[in-house]
Amino acid sequence: MVSLAAAFSTIDSHTAGHPTRVILSGVPALKGNSVRARRDDFRARFDHLRSALLHEPRGHAAMVGAVQVPSEVADFGVFFISSYVYLDMCGHGTIGFAKTLAFTGAITSESGDTFTLETPAGVVTVGLSWADDGTLSSVRLRNVPSYVGIDSVKVDVEDVGPVDAPIVYGGMWYALVDADALGLELAPANASSLMRAGWAIKSALSKALIGSEVIGDAAMPSVLFYSASAPDDATHFLVLASNKFDRSPCGTGSAARMCWLLETGQLAPEKAYTARNILGIPFTLRLAGTQPVGERSASIVEIEGSAFITSTQTILFESDDPLSRGFLCN
């Protein structure tokens, strides 16, 4: 017999290799009349659940969680949590969330080929491609507006060299860094060295951007390394922290990269953009439209990818577990 303090029902999936853990039950009722407000209430009162559910020994540094909550303005509501920060929007996580809805029967081929989803960044439209046997084969996320925040930020980074990166919004802020210009090869064998270089760049950029009116109180930009084989085809490696990288090409980061290519005239509006992770698995992106965001022109980018269910489980916490709040080792 064990003495249980809490239990959470979850479903895990991966989108191009990066995990999404959808938490189905166990989270207390949250206050607020919007997904953003409920997310903020979770952060204020239940942040210990984030580390408990995502960190070791029940998760790992790269784990991303999706907490489903009610929405008054969309078909579904969800906010995203990660091992070190709250995400206003998450492309791979949205694809994983859609796959989980299909797996549980919450959406089916009979219920249609789109649904709306309220996130802390706004309401997005999610398109669904169903196979002949009724399974969900791919997901097309129409992302929140992407726009260029700062054309160029220059920093000198120890052991890396001079870096000149645009800062672009795709649901989160990203610094777009040309890996080839720094002599960095985006390959699985180089993941550790790429994380070290990316973290050094992110730290330098964060210092340079202190007080930036563009970034405001949002999370500082993560570093999206890219290696382009053509204007419409590139490999991505996103560094999130010193011990964490995005295994997928990064949906919102890919939207930011496509926005930059469009803004600078390197990609024609009618062309699709293929973003691959270091395992060669692609996201396909297309321009769905444009709209103004303040005085800026923003691109509405559609991101297509597939997710795959990896496990269903009940995560348990015994009452005397000394590691019930989780831990991470850098």
Say whether 259 is catalytic. Answer: no
Q: What is the 3-state secondary structure (H, E, C) of the chain?
A: CCCEEEEEEEEEEEECCEEEEEEEECCCCCCCCCHHHHHHHHHHHHHHHHHHHHCECCCCCCCEEEEEECCCCCCEEEEEEECCCEECCCHHHHHHHHHHHHHHCCCCHHHCCEEEEEECCEEEEEEEEECCCCCEEEEEEECCCEEEEEEEEEEEECCCEEEEEEEEECCCEEEEEECHHHCCCCCHHHHHHHHHHHHHHHHHHHHHCCCCCCCCCCCCCEEEEEEEEECCEEEEEEEEECCEEECCCCHHHHHHHHHHHHHCCCCCCCCCEEEECCCCCEEEEEEEEEEEECCEEEEEEEEEECEEEEEEEEEEEECCCCCCCCECCC
Q: Is residue 326 part of a domain?
A: no
pTM (two decimals): 0.91
Residue 106's domain comprises 4-142+309-318
Lowest mean pLDDT among 35-39, 119-123, 145-149: 119-123
Query: Distance between CA 237 and CA 87 in Å, rounded?
Result: 18
pLDDT for the residue numbered 17: 95
Whether residues 177 and 44 share a domain: the answer is: no
Q: Is residue 180 part of a domain?
A: yes
pLDDT for the residue numbered 253: 95
Q: Is residue 198 part of a domain?
A: yes
Whether residues 295 and 227 share a domain: the answer is: yes
Q: Is residue 324 part of a domain?
A: no
pLDDT for the residue numbered 83: 85
CATH number at residue 243: 3.10.310.10
Query: Distance between CA 276 and CA 306 in Å, rounded?
Result: 13
Which entry of 90, 179, 186, 195 is annotated as an active-site residue? Answer: 90
User: What number is the average pLDDT over the span 308-319?
Assistant: 96
pLDDT for the residue numbered 326: 94
pLDDT for the residue numbered 175: 97
**Looking at the predicted structure, is the pLDDT value of residue 236 above 90?**
yes
pLDDT for the residue numbered 242: 86
User: What number is the average pLDDT over the span 290-302?
Assistant: 92
Q: Model confidence over 242-263: pLDDT tens digits?
A: 888 999 999 999 999 999 999 9
User: What number is the average pLDDT over the span 25-41?
Assistant: 96
Whether residues 254 and 236 share a domain: the answer is: yes
Cα angle 149, 206, 195; round to 5: 105
Whether residues 132 and 244 share a domain: the answer is: no
User: What number is the average pLDDT over the span 154-182?
Assistant: 95
Whether residues 17 and 166 share a domain: the answer is: no
Percent of the chain clearing pLDDT 90 (strictly above): 88
pLDDT for the residue numbered 84: 81
Whether residues 102 and 162 share a domain: the answer is: no
Q: How confident is the model at residue 47 (pLDDT cuts 50, 70, 90)?
A: very high
Q: Is residue 328 part of a domain?
A: no
pLDDT for the residue numbered 1: 60
Query: Distance between CA 262 and CA 243 in Å, rounded?
Result: 32
**Looking at the predicted structure, is the pLDDT value of residue 329 above 90?**
no
**Looking at the predicted structure, is the pLDDT value of residue 131 above 90?**
yes
Whether residues 138 and 221 share a domain: the answer is: no
**Looking at the predicted structure, is the pLDDT value of residue 272 above 70?**
yes
Which entry of 102, 139, 250, 275 is annotated as an active-site residue? Answer: 250
User: What number is the average pLDDT over the span 295-323?
Assistant: 95
Whether residues 122 and 192 share a domain: the answer is: no
Q: Is residue 323 part of a domain?
A: no
The dihedral formed by the CA atoms of 81, 11, 171 and 330, expressed in degrees to the nearest 10: 50
User: What number is the average pLDDT over the span 162-181?
Assistant: 96
Q: How confident is the model at residue 136 (pLDDT cuts 50, 70, 90)?
A: very high
Whether residues 104 and 241 share a domain: the answer is: no
Number of structural domains in the chain? 2
Say whether 329 is catalytic. Answer: no
Tokens representing residue 11 in the block: 């479903």
Whether residues 201 and 116 share a domain: the answer is: no
Q: Is residue 36 part of a domain?
A: yes
Q: How confident is the model at residue 219 (pLDDT cuts 50, 70, 90)?
A: confident
User: What number is the average pLDDT over the span 130-152?
Assistant: 95
Q: Is residue 327 part of a domain?
A: no
Whether residues 129 and 158 share a domain: the answer is: no
Whether residues 236 and 283 share a domain: the answer is: yes
Contact 212, 220 (CB under 8 A): no
pLDDT for the residue numbered 294: 86
**Looking at the predicted structure, is the pLDDT value of residue 2 above 80?**
no
